[in-house]
């Protein structure tokens, strides 16, 4: 995730799981159901690939029974294995788009594929790897702002791109989660499991810093700050997953104490971070505001790219899912824990007979085991936007999504 950010309280999951609707959308009647659909264009909102841990992802003061394993690259950088995995998943996407006739079998015309990345090294490297996989030998290069710039598509709060009120955000998060202490309490079993993996000497306060659970406005008023058990454990859970998908030896994955089932359970701690930073409706409306409008503009532009990739962070993927009011589930991961390379696919389709346009949503991932071994298999599951059918009329999709985005 982008190093500042940022999901939905588990008691509310029943409202969202599997794309369940908060407000039932009108079903298409037999007479209006499209019969011959062609995919016109696709927008892919994607998390970067497998990286080394971020600075501070394991909080200072975390106690372990043994040192952390070393990584082959500097902190936060994409690994060689992560680069190859992105090239592989991009090649799988290419096969899908060629079969849908969105892309030709050879190199597409200039402008057919557009890749926009955030400015961090890991997102730029991810965009470059994806370009090599989706358009091998075709000279597609990702676009991004200059180094040091803040891209509002990917970091709207830092860019001050919306009228964000930090006090209102904190109140909304507290209502949504039931409070930070309650959020931590709901994840007490996973926190205890993480302590067993860390293996620190017994202490009543556990293995991570014993700070009180609270969320508060950032000093500048343009963000929020989280401290306490979820902040401290979420990053550690992510580091353990990254050890596995990077392909580290079993003895180095949680010091041999974290098998895939354990990692899935611990993934709920990482996903809980997004309960605070993206899943609450107020946060979703601001975190997805610029990204969501960009998606709608791309879909509506007849001269735009047929494939656009927005290569960002798990924060971006979860924020868009929250604005759509759907949950993200993939085999091997906790609910709403977006893996490296995970993406929401937004396809615009046209009915050849009536000319009507529709939007179809999917969630595309690779399982932890496939990522670990560098395999090509992908998992694609359908998503529904709350308030519309899976095959959503394009004008209705745009109207609903726009209504959920902040100014």
Q: What is the CATH number of the domain that holds 94?
A: 3.40.50.1240
Q: Tell whether the model's pLDDT for residue 14 goes beyond 50.
A: no
Q: Tell whether the model's pLDDT for residue 157 goes beyond 90.
A: yes
User: Does residue 266 belong to any structural domain of this protein?
Assistant: no
How sure is the predictor about 205, in pLDDT bands with cuts at 50, 70 and 90?
confident
- Per DSSP, the chain holds a count of helices (H) and strands (E) of 14, 9
User: Does residue 179 belong to any structural domain of this protein?
Assistant: no
User: Does residue 186 belong to any structural domain of this protein?
Assistant: no
What confidence score (pLDDT) does residue 350 get?
A: 98
- For 356-369, what is the mean pLDDT? 99
Structural domain for 152, as ranges: 10-57+75-162+277-403
User: Does residue 106 belong to any structural domain of this protein?
Assistant: yes
User: How many beta carbons lie within 10 A of that of residue 314, not counting itself?
Assistant: 28
User: Does residue 14 belong to any structural domain of this protein?
Assistant: yes
User: Does residue 67 belong to any structural domain of this protein?
Assistant: no
- For 56-76, what is the mean pLDDT? 97
- Determine the Cα–Cα distance for residues 64 and 100; give it in Å rounded to an integer: 50
Q: Tell whether the model's pLDDT for residue 320 goes beyond 50.
A: yes
Q: What is the pLDDT of residues 16-32, one digit of tens each?
A: 333 333 333 445 544 45
Average pLDDT, rounded, for the chain: 93
Q: Tell whether the model's pLDDT for residue 123 goes beyond 70.
A: yes
Q: Which of 55, 23, 94 is nearest to 376 (CA)?
A: 94
pTM above the 0.85 mark? Answer: yes
User: Does residue 237 belong to any structural domain of this protein?
Assistant: no
Q: Tell whether the model's pLDDT for residue 3 goes beyond 80.
A: no
Q: Tell whether the model's pLDDT for residue 9 goes beyond 50.
A: no
Which residues, in sequence order, are bridge partners of residue 363?
Answer: 344, 381
Beta strands in 321-375 (DSSP E): 343-351, 357-365
What confidence score (pLDDT) does residue 23 get?
A: 34
User: Does residue 65 belong to any structural domain of this protein?
Assistant: no
What confidence score (pLDDT) does residue 28 get?
A: 52
* Tally of domains within the chain: 1
Q: Tell whether the model's pLDDT for residue 188 goes beyond 90.
A: yes
Q: What is the pLDDT of residues 273-311, one digit of tens each?
A: 999 999 999 999 999 999 999 999 999 999 999 999 999
């Amino acid at each position: 995730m982008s190093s500042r950010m940022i999901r939905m309280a588990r008691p509310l999951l029943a409202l969202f799981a599997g794309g369940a609707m908060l407000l039932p959308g009108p079903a298409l009647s037999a007479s209006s159901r499209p019969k011959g659909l062609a995919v016109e264009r696709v927008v892919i909102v994607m998390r970067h690939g497998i990286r080394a841990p971020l600075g501070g992802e394991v909080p200072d003061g975390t106690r372990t029974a043994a040192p952390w394993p070393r990584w082959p690259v500097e902190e936060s950088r994409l690994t060689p294995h992560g680069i190859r995995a992105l090239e592989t998943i991009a090649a799988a996407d290419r096969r899908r788009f060629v079969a849908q006739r969105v892309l030709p079998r050879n190199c597409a015309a200039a402008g057919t594929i557009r890749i926009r990345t955030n400015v961090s090294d890991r997102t730029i490297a991810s965009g470059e790897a994806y370009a090599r996989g989706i358009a091998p030998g075709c000279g597609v290069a990702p676009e991004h702002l200059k180094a040091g710039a803040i891209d509002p598509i990917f970091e709207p709060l830092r860019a001050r791109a919306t009228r964000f009120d930090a006090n209102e955000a904190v109140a909304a998060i507290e209502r949504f989660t039931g409070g930070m202490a309650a959020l931590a309490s709901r994840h007490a079993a996973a926190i205890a499991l993480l302590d067993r993996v860390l293996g620190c000497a017994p202490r009543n306060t556990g293995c991570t810093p014993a700070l009180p659970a609270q969320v508060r406005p950032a000093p500048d008023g343009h963000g929020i700050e989280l401290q306490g058990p979820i902040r401290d454990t979420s990053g550690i859970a992510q580091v353990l997953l990254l050890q596995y998908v990077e392909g580290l030896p079993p003895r180095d994955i949680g010091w041999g104490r974290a098998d895939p089932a354990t990692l899935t359970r611990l993934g709920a701690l990482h996903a809980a971070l997004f309960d605070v930073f993206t899943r609450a409706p107020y946060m979703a409306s601001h975190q997805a505001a610029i990204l969501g409008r960009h998606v709608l503009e791309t879909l509506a532009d007849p001269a735009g790219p047929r494939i656009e990739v927005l290569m960002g962070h798990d924060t971006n993927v979860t924020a868009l899912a929250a604005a759509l009011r759907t949950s993200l589930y993939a085999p091997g991961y906790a609910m709403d824990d977006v893996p490296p390379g995970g993406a929401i696919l937004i396809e615009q389709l046209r009915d050849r007979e009536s000319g009507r346009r529709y939007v179809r949503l999917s969630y595309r991932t690779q399982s932890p085991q496939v990522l670990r071994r560098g395999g090509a298999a992908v998992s694609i599951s359908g998503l529904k936007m709350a308030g519309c059918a899976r095959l959503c009329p394009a004008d209705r999709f745009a109207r609903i999504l726009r209504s959920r985005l902040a100014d």
